[in-house]
Amino acid sequence: MQESILDPRSEPDNNRLAGFLPRKPNKWHYTSGALALLVAVPLLVVFSGWLKPETEIWSHLADTILDQLVINTIKLVVGVGIGVVILGVSLAWLTARCEFPGRKWFDWLLMLPMAMPAYVLAFVAIGLLDFSGPVQTALRTWAGTSNIWFPEIRSTGGLITVMVIAFYPYVYMMARTAFITQGRSTLEAARMLGAGSYGVFWRIALPMARPAIAAGTTLALMETLADFGTVATFNYDTFTTAIYQAWFGFFSLQAASQLASILLLLVFVSLMLEKSSRSKSKYHDSMRSGEPPRLHLSGWRGWTVSGLLALLFLIAFLAPFIQLCLWSIEVITTDFDERYLGLLGHTLLLGALAATVTVIAGMVLGFARRFQPDRTTLVTTSLATLGYALPGSVLAVGIMVAASGFDNGINNLFESIGLDMPGQILGGSLLALVLAYVIRFMAVAFGPIETVLSRIRPSLPEAARSLGATSSQTLKAIYLPLLRPGLMTGLLLVMVDTMKEMPATLLMRPFGWDTLAVRIYEMTSEGEWERAALPAITLVFAGLIPVVLLTRRSLKRLK
Amino acid sequence: MKKYLLSLFALVIAFPAYAADTITVYSARKEHLIKPLFDAYTEKTGVKIQYITDKAGPLLARIKAEGRNTPADLFMTVDAGNLWQAAEKGVLAVTDSKILETNIPVHLRDPENRWFGLSVRARTIVYSTERIKDGELTTYEDLADAKWKGRLCLRTSKKVYNQSLVAMLIARHGEERTEQLVKGWVTNLATAPFSNDTKTMEAIAAGQCDVGIVNTYYFGRLKKKKPEIKLALFWPNQDSTGVHVNVSGAGVTKHAKNRDAATKLLEWLSSPEAQGKFASLNMEYPVNPAVEADDVVKAWGEFKSDDLNVSSAGAMQTTAIKLMDRAGYR
């Protein structure tokens, strides 16, 4: 595999005709195809729901709630999409390209909301801001009347706000990496040609960061579509609500699968459209030509920016963090025991394991798309990243069914040749759980890696090869260092996402492998939000470990 | 590399270890409500119990997918609807046990003995002691009356407890009348339905509304945390059908490897020795009539409960959800 990784003959610029000439499938087709197959198996299980028609449920949904669910879902996707782009990109531009008081701190502080699961943010927000919450209660006491106006938190606007706060880090982190690594020479050339600092942003930096922004937004929107915990806390009905109602209410996993497969198809089509809309563009950049000068926001402007960012950090992280701490203190004496060490250990171990494997797989996919940029690879790589768009429980069951099918096949085989049946092999094993994470989070690793990869100018590895470097030398000396920001972002995102992951962890964990997310589920599913605060806060701290480790490191290297 | 692969393989093979003297439980009842009992059972008998917890739906799908290879001996869950569904999907075996039949009243177990209730939860009316006068409250049905306009708070219809409640109403009154009733509830709502019972009660206490419908143990928990909260429970329908009750329960799986051991565990859980703790851990009522409820729970007063077999909730659940969708109850 390594041979072909760095073979300049397969570099995109050397075979522009690749998409037009009939060619035999090569190694890249096979590797990306294999990864796509891994993801495709549970997806096929989901699609197999169509084998059994569920017309009764469909006609009921169509008659009653379906149109409202679709409208709700569209509102949510549009709102969250606009929100994360505006917030994520402007924050990234400010911390990566400007200078203002406290910039170095905000640079990584603004990533922290990532460590806070969206459903946790949701229940804290509702707990604080609903009619019976402390804020409105205090206002009523102060005003001396129960007739005060206060924005309704349990509303479309409230939900969009919470989701934007929870999901903007995806866009922020990817756009930030893009802005930081944009080379000095390109930006300076623009300045010399007469562009002002706003012109540079709108006409050069922003278009060049488009793949990164698109990748971050894609992740945020896929997560929005697949989300159940946050919308359920708000009692806001989306398409996912229908999926779960079909399953848990009507007891029809088939109807749930059918609904989920429609969701998947939509995501797949939009992924393909987005990718092919910019497939002709090139985003190569010199990358290492030094950091361009920052725009100094001096005086009141700098302080205004710091003030706004501080306010954002307060709302997005500090306030919920403090609330969780307060709740935790109430229960720490009764709930905190020696088992927390095990929970923490499992959480970190699973996170690290899943992140490593997923990032390696994501890198392979990235190389496949770089070296073999034809339609087949586009389809296989898009397919391989679809796991993120599916509601967690549906995907988890798909994987479970696939794993059990494998086990049952082996057992039947053993039985037919007269051997003792081995029982479960894949089902309930650590391997199956890690595979489940890989399938679910492939998109999260692939996004940042692909965006960085797309900006490496092909002449660089070509030069290395022509100077006689072997492919593994080129990998080590050229690709890995240049890819580092993307790999780091991917590792961080997948690790934190894995640690927060609930449905697959619940269903597929080996006996005894409880994690912090499992504990949060145990408490929240019966409405014991305060008791859930203790594992939630521990999870936030666990999430901080990779955030701090990796960002400090990548910051240092980039300075 | 080969060495790593080998050890990984060994790890994979070694994990799903289930020895003969270990009972495996798939539970949708929360860990902190079952572990103390499992620990006590292990200490008493030496029989080990391993378990995983998840929602009922995914666990059921897992048992079905695993087929005869399933490690699960016992499936434990909350809500009769889920138990009914497990039996319906054919994953539970018939368990004939004189002990279970003696310990558990007929209406709290499957008519075909595939599952057994282990604790009873009552879904009743909660009200503000400041704004509700004596005699104002009567029945669930009465909450649809126009006099409650803007005074009612409810939890989301997506919660199975409300689905079961409406299912039982359908079993009693038929679809047409129940739909009118649910529409009445929706008209009377003071605010959009809440995602959980605790939020519903907090809204009543804060003055957003005056009455609501909740499971008693949520009330118990809230009262324990805020003893001064101005809320109380009311037992409705005492002159007619009685308070709506539901169960948490369990059944032995069809492909259980340790059927006898699992049955013994089930019998023990229904015994006087275990029932007190099983119920009181979650402030519920014991199924075993020989066992008294916890003092805190008893203080809420005696009531007549609905004696319709709880399995009706499962059979009617789909109808109930469709009805609630039509009535605009979110």
Residue-wise pLDDT tens digits, B43-56:
999 999 999 999 99
d(CA B276, CA B283): 10
Residue A339's Cβ-count burial label (10 Å; 0-12, 13-18, 19+) is exposed
Average pLDDT, chain B: 92
Residue A396: list chain B partners with CB under 8 A.
Answer: 58
> Is the alpha carbon torsion for B271, B272, B277, B280 positive or negative?
positive
- Coil, helix or strand at residue A234: coil
Does B321 have pLDDT greater than 80? yes
Helical packing angle, A339-371 and A529-558, nearest 10° = 50
- Kindly determine whether residue B71 and residue A233, on different chains, have CB atoms separated by under 8 Å: no
Q: Give pLDDT, residue A374.
A: 83
Does A365 have pLDDT greater than 70? yes
pLDDT, average across residues B163-189: 96
Whether the CB-CB separation of B306 and B242 falls below 8 Å is answered with yes
Whether the CB-CB separation of B88 and B256 falls below 8 Å is answered with no
Q: Give pLDDT, residue A15.
A: 42
Give the A window 219-238 contacts with B, CB below 8 Å: 232-235, 237
Predicted confidence band of residue B20 (pLDDT cuts 50, 70, 90): low
Quote the tokens at residue A236.
């806001």
Q: Give pLDDT, residue A147.
A: 78
- What residues contact A275, with CB distance under 8 A and at least 6 apart? A378, A382
pLDDT, average across residues A45-55: 89
Among partner residues A235, A400, A429, which is closest to B330 by beta-carbon distance?
Answer: A235
Q: Does A423 touch chain B (CB under 8 A)?
A: yes
Q: Give pLDDT, residue B146.
A: 96
d(CA A202, CA A211): 15
- H or E element at residue A172: helix A156-181
- Kindly determine whether residue B158 and residue A249, on different chains, have CB atoms separated by under 8 Å: yes
Distance from CA of A393 to the nearest CA of B (A): 7
> Is the alpha carbon torsion for A385, A391, A393, A394 positive or negative?
negative
Alpha helices in B160-310, H assignment, sequence order: 160-173, 175-188, 197-206, 216-225, 259-270, 272-280, 295-298
Residue-wise pLDDT tens digits, A419-428:
888 888 888 8
Distance from CA of B102 to the nearest CA of A (A): 31
Distance from CA of A435 to the nearest CA of B (A): 12
pLDDT, average across residues A133-150: 87
- Kindly determine whether residue B71 and residue A245, on different chains, have CB atoms separated by under 8 Å: no
pLDDT, average across residues A22-47: 82
pLDDT, average across residues B304-319: 92
Q: Give pLDDT, residue A272.
A: 83
Does A185 have pLDDT greater than 50? yes
Alpha helices in A227-280, H assignment, sequence order: 229-233, 239-244, 253-277
Q: Give pLDDT, residue B116.
A: 98
CA distances from B11 to A437, B7, B14, B165, B185 (A): 18, 6, 5, 47, 55
pLDDT, average across residues B120-142: 96
Nearest of A462, A395, A274 to residue B61 by alpha carbon: A395
Q: Give pLDDT, residue A10.
A: 43
Q: Does A130 touch chain B (CB under 8 A)?
A: yes
pLDDT, average across residues A222-242: 91
Does B4 have pLDDT greater than 70? no
pLDDT, average across residues B242-254: 97
Whether the CB-CB separation of A499 and A545 falls below 8 Å is answered with no
Predicted confidence band of residue B217 (pLDDT cuts 50, 70, 90): very high
Q: Give pLDDT, residue B187.
A: 97
Q: Give pLDDT, residue A3.
A: 37
Q: Does A412 touch chain B (CB under 8 A)?
A: no
Percent of chain A with pLDDT over 90: 41
pLDDT, average across residues A451-457: 85
β-partners of residue B109 are B116
Instruction: Record the pTM.
Output: 0.90
Does A552 have pLDDT greater than 80? no
The distance from CA A528 to its chain's CA centroid, rounded to whole angstroms, is 27
Q: Give pLDDT, residue A555.
A: 57
Q: Give pLDDT, residue A6.
A: 41
pLDDT, average across residues A469-492: 87
Give the A window 341-360 contacts with B, CB below 8 Å: none
Residue A397: list chain B partners with CB under 8 A.
Answer: 58, 61-62, 65
Q: Give pLDDT, residue A1.
A: 34
- What residues contact B329, with CB distance under 8 A and at least 6 apart? B154, B157, B182, B185, B186, B193
Q: Does A409 touch chain B (CB under 8 A)?
A: no
Does A285 have pLDDT greater than 80? no
Residue B202: list chain A partners with CB under 8 A.
Answer: 132
Percent of chain B with pLDDT over 90: 91
Predicted confidence band of residue B125 (pLDDT cuts 50, 70, 90): very high
Residue-wise pLDDT tens digits, A68-119:
999 999 999 999 999 999 999 999 999 998 999 999 889 889 988 988 889 8
Whether the CB-CB separation of B216 and B124 falls below 8 Å is answered with yes
Specify whether the backbone of A228 is left (phi greater than 0), alpha (psi in -120 to 50) or beta: alpha
Q: Give pLDDT, residue A331.
A: 87
- What's phi and psi for A421, nearest 5 deg? -75, 135
Distance from CA of A253 to the nearest CA of B (A): 8
CA distances from A328 to A84, A111, A121, A316, A341 (A): 30, 23, 15, 19, 16
Q: Give pLDDT, residue B91.
A: 96
d(CA B168, CA B139): 14
